[in-house]
Structures are given as C-alpha cells and as structure tokens.
Amino acid sequence: MSDLKFSESGRKKYEWLLTRYPEKQAVLLPALRIAEEEFGELGLPEMKYVANLLGISPSRVFGVVTFYTHFRRAGTGKFHIQVCSTLSCALRGSQDVVDHIAGRLGIECGETTEDGLFTLTKVECLGSCDTAPMFQLNDDYHESLTIEDVDRIIDDCRNGSGKNGASGKNGGSA
Amino acid sequence: MSFEKFFTKYLHEPDCHTLDFYKKNYQGYQGARKALHEWEPDALIDEVKASNLRGRGGAGFPTGVKWGFVPKKTDKPKYLAINADESEPGTFKDRVIMEKNPHQLLEGIIINSWAVGIHDAYIYIRGEYVFATRRLERAIEEAYQDGILGEKTLGKDFRLDVTVHRGAGAYICGEETGMLTSLEGERGLPKLKPPFPAVEGLWHCPTVVQNVETVANLPLILEIGSAAYKQIGPEASPGPKLYCVSGHVERPGTIEAPMGVNLLTLINEHCGGVWKGRKLKAVIPGGSSAHVLHARECDVAMDIESLAAAGTMLGSAGVIVMDDQTCMVNALLNIMRFYHHESCGQCTPCREGTGWLEKIVHRIAYGHGQLEDLALIDSVCDRMVGKTICVLADAAAFPAWSFIEKFRDEFVHCIEHGGSPEVKKRHPKRVGGGLRV
C-alpha cells in the first residue's frame, strides 16, 4: 500500500467539497485537482488513492483522468509548455513558436527534456485567440508571444525565476 | 441610437473585478435586489421572455422560454449549471467577463435562480482558465462575506449557494449534456435529448444550463426593463454582444457592440482592418463550427437571423479572419484535426468520420490527394450530420462542406500541383511522392 495522503488543508478542502454536491462522485474532478496539487502529478498510485477516498473503482478514475487532457500526468516535466495550435493561433505563427521551442530544448512535441525540466505539448484552443500566438506554462498564460519572449521565458524557468510561470503577462494573483 | 457599453466599459480599470468597484460603478447588485424584492418569479420569467434574450453560447435559444420548460411542481431540487467551458475555437468572450467582471455573472446567477426557484448553482469552467477561476472564487468569497450569497440572498429569505467546478480539458464538455455528465464526475460523454436538462439534468433533476454571457445580460434587463432592452439591436435577438475577433486583423480582441453590427465594420473599424495591408479572403463568423464566409459575403449583420439567412451562424461569435495569403486547405486541415482530436468517441459516425475527414484533407494538403477526394469528403459529411448524439459531427462537417464549396479552386489546385504551398514551404521533404494514405 502506498503512503499517499492529503495534507490537513487538502483534507479540509476535500471535506468542504463534499458538502457542495448532493452526490459524492461529483467531487471526483475537484479531488483529482487537489491530488495533482498535493502530489505533483497523477500516476496510478495517486489515482488509486482518490478512488479509495471516494469509494469508486480505480479503473473508473483512470477512465476519467485519461479522458481529459489537462490533468498533470506522471512523467510531465517541471515546466509544462502547452502551445495552442488551433486555427486562430496557427494563423499568427504558433507553429514557429513550437518549432523554436522544440529546437531550443532538443525535444519533439509530447516529449520531456532529459533533465526533467520541460515538457512540450501542442494543444487545442486555449481561448486566448486574440493574443495569439500563446502558450500555457503550468498554470499561467503567456500571450502575444515573440520568439524573444519565448527565449526569455525559457531562460527564466532555467534560472529559477520562472517558478510556476509567474512572469506571465497575465499571471499573478487574483 | 447611441450605444452604451455594458460589459466592457471599465475593462481597463485595474480593480474592475472587485465587489467595491462593481457596486460603485455599475450600481452592482441593484438588478438582483430588485428581482428578489419586487418581482414574483413567474412575472420575472415573463419579463425575460419579453426581452427576447437569446442564449449566447451558440444555439441562440430564447432564455425565458427555456426557464418555462422547468417543471413548476416538483419535489426534486432544481439546479443551475453555468457553461463556462468556452472551448469553441475562436471564442474568448466569457473569459473576459469572468476575469474582468465576475460580479456581473454572479448577479445574473442570482436573478436566474430566483426566477426558476434554484438554490444551488454550479459554474463549470474549463480547466485551463486558472486565472479566471481564481477571480471567480475570490468574487464568490466577497459575495458571501457581504451577504449577497448564502442563507439569505441579499436579505431575502432565499438560500443560494454558488460553486465553481473546474473542467479538465475537453471540448465536448462545452456541449450541455457532456458538461453535466462531467460535472457528475464522469467522462464528459453527451446524452441523448430528450429528456432535456430543463426536465432531467444534473442527478436526474431539472437543470437550467446557461452560457456565462447570457446570464450576465440579466442585470441589464432588470435595470432598464425588457422594452428598452429590445431596442438594442434587432428586436428578435437584441442586446449588447461580445464579439471575439482573432486571426489576421491589426487589433484582435473582444469587441462589445449592439447585436447585429456589420461584420465589415467589426473588422475594419473596431479591429483596424486586415493586417499588414492585405486583402480579406474569408471569415468564419461564429466559431470554427460555422460555415465559412467568402470575402464577398462579409457585408452582413452579425445577428442570429441575418447570419442564418447568409447560410452560416452567429454561434459563439468567434470571428476568425483570414487574409488573402491564407491557404484554405491548410486552414481546413487545422480545423479537421481539432474535431478529430475532440470527438468523444461515443458515436461511430463522429469517431470515424472526423478521423477520415482529417486523413483526407491531410493527404490533399500533403500532395497525395485526388479529385475524387472532394466527393468523398462530401459523402463522409453526409453520413455524419444529424446521425449522432450531439452536434460535434455536424460541427466538423459544416466547415468541411463550406470550405470546399467556396474555395474549391484552391483544393483542386493543391490536388493538381502536389499539395498546399504552406505545407510545401514548411515540410519540403514530406510533400508529394511516396505512399498515399
């Protein structure tokens, strides 16, 4: 058995969530978000932990996690760069952004750098079409990108100041 | 008539998202207060019906009529599910409301809930919108602290709880039944209608599903009344409207204008015209599912009826502009890849059809196409439309049909000259020759 466990605050949040829905399974997606936050990623042990918590089968949780694209799956780099590649972004050069990042990091789309720092993914519309090209770096959107912006952001990540992508033009707290 | 902006008037004020700002500058929550203390629910439904408010999510269904479908005498609880999944390519208007003016949405939720007798509302927001989620959660916190939400909503003996529910990346969860399934903690697979959500939705209970922008219109209707509201734009689908303009314009962005603004006015006056001094080639007026318009068809009013008459739709008002250097084959390939990726896989015509559409357009773009492929695409589309649980299959077929109908010459040129010029430029080694897939 794994020794995974929500922290005190994670547990509190989970219990609060249970009061917001008439049926327990509705808490699955939010609980997976807590797991993602607390454990860093969703691999099989994390999915099993959430399944036990909610009293549903691990295979069901696996089915749900893999249906969606936005959960942080096991093996994702510390900085996940998701470049929007749908039409509006493509019309304004998203492929150049992808090619540049792939060249700089020496990886193809869908791959992670050997040092485990970066994962590069092409994703579908992120709802930021007016600021194309753009990508999501972990939680934050980086918009209206130039190649210089991309280089700066990657450098920031490498030297530590880009933690959680907080240098985003639209980043920061609410 | 002069048009006063309702959603975007204070967009650039740094604290426009706060409760204080909303109260001070928008007379915030006066509409909801009026609804709760001066309107009987049935009369309020009639008022919203009379306003002709139509859904802003894509289908354009009359909001008041939808509320009227919810059974009045039922022992079951009723729910409100706000669709903030905004995932139609080219659409980003709801994000603006949630990031810049979350209280306008909350006020609309109160009005909607009072009219239909709802005590629990959920905002299903797409997982990628982390910043908007934070802003919404903060706004809800402010509203609870101020007695706007909770056991006594705005001082009335009426409980209302609002919960933000994050999605996790799936276009299909923007489809209303897919969204409800996802909210219940399942894979977001759409369900057959009927029963419609208004009768049987979340946890088999009556559920009103509304788009963010639709609900955010309600405070305005309460403030000025349905008669004045109907004066904004065309009477059959009135109101202020957020248009999302992206692609090849000088200044892309969210433009607020009265419903029915001319498409060319939107592009040339509001967005600085086609970029780099180039000419217009085509516009998708309502998100990537809508039929594309040729440049010569763009002198059209951007409202539900006018666009339907032009053979396309207002949809989500995601306006994607393409200049005269755009390769339409490559653009269609991008759209086809999207729908193939986002098909939930439940219905065979969609799962297989979207895959084949991508494959066929791909081979045309990469120089392996044949003229018969154009008829093949037509026949695949024919076998998809109207034959599935939800309309994702239709959404994939509409652009395929309209791109080929209106830009047939370009497709034929690609087939006869070894592929798309854009693809040839980018992947010179992968175009032409070799096996045909």
Q: What is the pLDDT of residue B272?
A: 98
Nearest to A142, CA basis, from A164, A158, A124, A116: A164
User: Are A91 and B248 inside 8 Å of each other by CB?
Assistant: yes
Chain B residues whose CB is inside 8 A of the A64 CB are 185-187
- Model confidence at B426, in pLDDT bands (50, 70, 90)? confident
- Could you give the CA distance from residue B195 to residue B20 in angstroms, rounded to a whole number? 42
- Could you give the CA distance from residue B366 to residue B13 in angstroms, rounded to a whole number? 48
- Model confidence at A167, in pLDDT bands (50, 70, 90)? very low
Chain B residues whose CB is inside 8 A of the A26 CB are 165, 183-185
pLDDT at A170 over 80: no
pLDDT at B359 over 80: yes
pLDDT at B88 over 70: yes
Query: CA-CA-CA-CA torsion for A38, A44, A48, A54, nearest 10 degrees?
Result: 60
Mean per-residue pLDDT, B361-381: 97
Mean per-residue pLDDT, B176-203: 97
Alpha-carbon distance A29 to nearest alpha carbon in chain B (angstroms): 6
Return all residues near B337 (Cβ < 8 A) that are at least 6 apart.
B358
Q: What is the pLDDT of residue B432?
A: 66
Contact B182, B55 (CB under 8 A): no
* B248 close to A (CB below 8 A): yes
- Could you give the CA distance from residue A78 to residue B224 in angstroms, rounded to a whole number? 51
| Portion 197-236 of B in contact with A at CB < 8 A | 203
What distance separates the 2 farthest-apart alpha carbons in chain B?
A: 74
Q: Tokens 């109260």 map to which residue?
A: B23
Q: How far is CA B24 from the centre of its chain?
A: 30
Q: Are strands B280-284 and B293-294 parallel, antiparallel or unpaired?
A: antiparallel
Mean per-residue pLDDT, A155-162: 85
User: Are B185 and A68 inside 8 Å of each other by CB?
Assistant: no
Chain A residues whose CB is inside 8 A of the B91 CB are 125, 127, 129
* A87 close to B (CB below 8 A): yes
Backbone angles phi, psi at B280, to 5 degrees: -80, 135
Contact A45, A51 (CB under 8 A): no
Q: What is the pLDDT of residue B428?
A: 80
Phi-psi region of A143 (alpha: psi -120 to 50; beta: other; left: phi over 0): beta
User: Are B128 and A136 inside 8 Å of each other by CB?
Assistant: yes
Q: What is the pLDDT of residue B429?
A: 77
* A88 close to B (CB below 8 A): yes
Mean per-residue pLDDT, B10-37: 96
pLDDT at A165 over 60: no
Q: How many contacts (CB atoms, under 8 Å) link A and B? A: 146
* B107 close to A (CB below 8 A): no
Backbone angles phi, psi at B254, to 5 degrees: -90, 120
DSSP for chain A, written as a single string: -------HHHHHHHHHHHTT-SSGGGGHHHHHHHHHHHHSSB-HHHHHHHHHHHT--HHHHHHHHHH-S-S-BTT--SEEEEEE-SHHHHHTTHHHHHHHHHHHHT--TT-B-TTS-EEEEEES--S-GGG-S-EEETTEEE-S--HHHHHHHHHHHHTTTTGGGTT-TT-S--
* A26 close to B (CB below 8 A): yes
Query: CA-CA-CA-CA torsion for A150, A154, A157, A162, nearest 10 degrees?
Result: -10
User: Are B186 and A30 inside 8 Å of each other by CB?
Assistant: no
What distance separates the 2 farthest-apart alpha carbons in chain A?
A: 50
- Could you give the CA distance from residue B243 to residue A103 in angstroms, rounded to a whole number? 36
- B166 to chain A: nearest residue by CA? A30
* A30 close to B (CB below 8 A): yes
Tell me how far apart the terminal alpha carbons of chain B are, to the nearest angstrom.
Answer: 57
- A170 to chain B: nearest residue by CA? B131
Residues of chain B with pLDDT > 70: what percent? 98
- Model confidence at B437, in pLDDT bands (50, 70, 90)? very low
- Model confidence at A173, in pLDDT bands (50, 70, 90)? very low
| Portion 352-411 of B in contact with A at CB < 8 A | none
- Model confidence at B1, in pLDDT bands (50, 70, 90)? low
- Could you give the CA distance from residue B291 to residue B415 in angstroms, rounded to a whole number? 23
- Model confidence at B363, in pLDDT bands (50, 70, 90)? very high
Mean per-residue pLDDT, B214-235: 97
Residues of chain A with pLDDT > 90: what percent? 89
Mean per-residue pLDDT, A13-41: 97
**What tokens appear for B39 in the block?**
């309107």
pLDDT at B20 over 90: yes
User: Are B129 and A127 inside 8 Å of each other by CB?
Assistant: yes
pLDDT at B430 over 70: yes
* A130 close to B (CB below 8 A): yes
**What tokens appear for B200 in the block?**
């049987």
Q: What is the pLDDT of residue A3?
A: 84
Note the pTM of the prediction, 2 decimals.
0.96
CB atoms within 10 A of CB A15: 11
- B135 to chain A: nearest residue by CA? A174
Q: Read off the pLDDT of residues B123-166 as tens digits, 9 standing for 90 and up.
A: 999 999 999 999 999 999 999 999 999 999 999 999 999 999 99
* A141 close to B (CB below 8 A): yes
pLDDT at A169 over 80: no
Q: Tokens 């903030």 map to which residue?
A: B84
Alpha-carbon distance B248 to nearest alpha carbon in chain A (angstroms): 7
Sign, CA torsion B65/B69/B74/B78: negative
Considering only residues A170 and B31, tell me which one the structure prediction assigns the higher pLDDT. B31
Considering only residues B215 and A174, tell me which one the structure prediction assigns the higher pLDDT. B215
Contact B97, B213 (CB under 8 A): yes
